[in-house]
Amino acid sequence: MHRAIAVPRMFRRRLDEALIRTSRRRLASTASTSNAPSSKPAKVVRRILFYTVAATGTFYIGSAFVSFENQQYRELFTANVPLGKELVDYGEVHKWDEITIEQTVVAAVDAYKTVYNFVQRQLGNAPTEETIEKAAKSALKESKERVKSAAASLKTVVKKVEEETVPEATAKAIFIARQHGAQFADELDDLIRKAEAALTGKSVDSLYEATTTPAQPGNAVIYAAPLPIGFEPPPGYERPAPPKPASKAVAEPTPVPLPLVAPAVSEVAVSEPVITQLASTIDNLASFLASNPAASEKAKDVLEVAKADLTGLAARIEKIKEDEKLQLEIKLDEQAREYTTKLLELELEAQDKLDSQQDGFRKFYDEERGRLKEEVIAQGIEMQRRWIREVKVRVEQERGGRLAKLDELATSLKRLERLALDNSSYLDENIRVHSMWTAIRAMQSAVDASIRKPFREELRVLRHIAVAKEDAIIAAALDSLEQSDMPDIGIEPFADLASWFSTSVRPRVSSVALVPDQDAGVLTHLASHFLSLFRFQRHGLIPGSDVLSILSRADAARELNQVKGTARELLRDWLEAARRRLEVLQALEVLMSKVIACVTLTPS
């Protein structure tokens, strides 16, 4: 059977609407032409909307059915088109891919007939006899085509079953099924005749008479064979009289249930799917024959024979399997014994080889051990002789060089005495240098403290340690510090100097940067203070001798010594504190450099 593109309900509904719209438009145009048409823009909009909707629907529905046939197009459609995946899923759920061409044509024809009849009923036009007769003929023709397609499908199924390899009992069942299929076709012909009679309003007897020859001789032979629809018996023959209806309805006998084969072989043929499938096929034929009681009576014996044959076949297959299993087990046992014997032989052979190798290795080990023992004894004797000779030579050497060694010992003792004295002096110098370095570090920590701290005690300790050296440079540096009051009051910390400069000194000096060195009045000071609010602060090594340039280079106190005038008066206190700190730091640097020089010159 050919696969056809499915017609969904949406398409059928749209087809019905289109047919109704077409019929109404045609009837409206024939009934009255006086109605004014709608405006042209409205028609254009409706036409565009109609074609757009129709094209969109056709594209989506057609793409959905094409995607059932082409996997690549399906992936493209579901990935790139909006609502494509949902439409394909909806079609799979409603089984659109199982609809055939015949179903499509039949659905379209039925929809057209339904719409046409609906329109006729709405218009009040009752169908005429000719219309009814045409409809009956078309229905009869369609029923014939459907019967032919059903018969063809039955033949196809029977042929497929014949091509398969089946037992003899199954062939008998298929032969009986063919006979019943022919009988079923005759019954369908009778049903078609009854349908024709019902549609044309005639009885079945008149239909039988209509199919016969109108003028037959009295002594004509009755032609009892079935004739196709529309054919007459040959000349000289006539159709038999129609059967008279029975006066009383005879009760139909209850059909005898046909035996089922699948339950009988299910326990025996569980491991044989072919037998199970064959039993299912016979049961399907039995269910098909159950619709005809007369045929089921005739097929009961055949099905019983098929059931017995299948049961015997299943038992035979099981017996063959058991025999094959026993033979296979016997062969496996024989092979196991054979390979076990071979394995034992190989193990014994390998054990013999290992024993022979072990004996050879033991013999070689004993020989090698004896040889090495003799070599060791010979080497021991030779070493003993050599040691005796060396001892004699060394004794003679000791006798001859004993006095020389005594002189060397005396010289070595003097050298050790001198080294001990030098080491003691070096040790004293190192202790003094270490003490001085410790005192300098203590004074350095006092100077670098975060608060102002006196360092008179640290200076006294450093002076006491440096007296033993009697160095003029160290003495001058310490005298300059002792003569001032800085050791008693301390010096300003670097952080305080920096904060003092950035928060107090620099803004005040910047405010008087524009004041001249001499003859400056109050207005000049006010103007300089006011203009300092609008100036940008300078940073870095900016050239120039003005106050602002000097302030930007104020990384060292000596730069601020260049300031003159009012700015110098404002910087006086800060410069004094910075100079004191620099004097102390300079003295400490001198002391540290001398200590480092002493450490460098001291030999290790």
Amino acid, single-letter form, for residue 254: T
| φ/ψ (deg, to 5) at 222 | -75, 130
Q: Which of these, 556, 590, 596, lies nearest to 444 by C-alpha position?
A: 590
Quote the CA–CA distance of 342 and 354 in Å, as a whole number: 18
Q: How many CA atoms lie within 13 A of 512 on its CB side?
A: 21
Q: Residue 43 — very low, low, confident or very high, per pLDDT cuts 50/70/90? A: confident
Instruction: Evaluate the CA torsion angle 420, 425, 428, 432 in order and state its sign.
Output: negative
Mean of the per-residue pLDDT values of the chain = 68
Whether 79 has a pLDDT exceeding 80, the answer reads yes
Question: Left (φ > 0), alpha (ψ -120 to 50) or beta: where does 52 sit?
Answer: alpha
Residue 222's DSSP bridge partners are: 238
Q: Residue 236 — very low, low, confident or very high, per pLDDT cuts 50/70/90? A: low
User: Tell me: the pLDDT tens digits for 251-266?
Assistant: 445 555 555 656 665 6
Beta carbons of 477 and 585 less than 8 angstroms apart: no
Q: Residue 377 — very low, low, confident or very high, per pLDDT cuts 50/70/90? A: very high
Quote the CA–CA distance of 442 and 455 in Å, as a whole number: 9
Q: Which of these, 498, 491, 496, lies nearest to 555 by C-alpha position?
A: 498
Amino acid, single-letter form, for residue 306: A
Quote the CA–CA distance of 51 and 57 in Å, as a whole number: 10
The pLDDT of residue 363: 92
Beta carbons of 265 and 275 less than 8 angstroms apart: yes
The pLDDT of residue 381: 92
Beta carbons of 275 and 262 less than 8 angstroms apart: no
- Residue 577, both tokens: 């504190």
E strand map for 385-537: none
Element (H, E) at 237: strand 237-238
The residue among 390 and 315 whose pLDDT is bigger is 390
Quote the CA–CA distance of 593 and 50 in Å, as a whole number: 105
User: Tell me: the pLDDT tens digits for 312-329?
Assistant: 777 788 888 888 889 999
The pLDDT of residue 255: 54
Beta carbons of 84 and 63 less than 8 angstroms apart: yes
Judged on CB neighbours under 10 Å (0-12, 13-18, 19+), 46 is exposed
Quote the CA–CA distance of 442 and 570 in Å, as a whole number: 34
Within 8 A by CB and 6+ apart from 5, the residues are 62, 65, 66, 99, 104
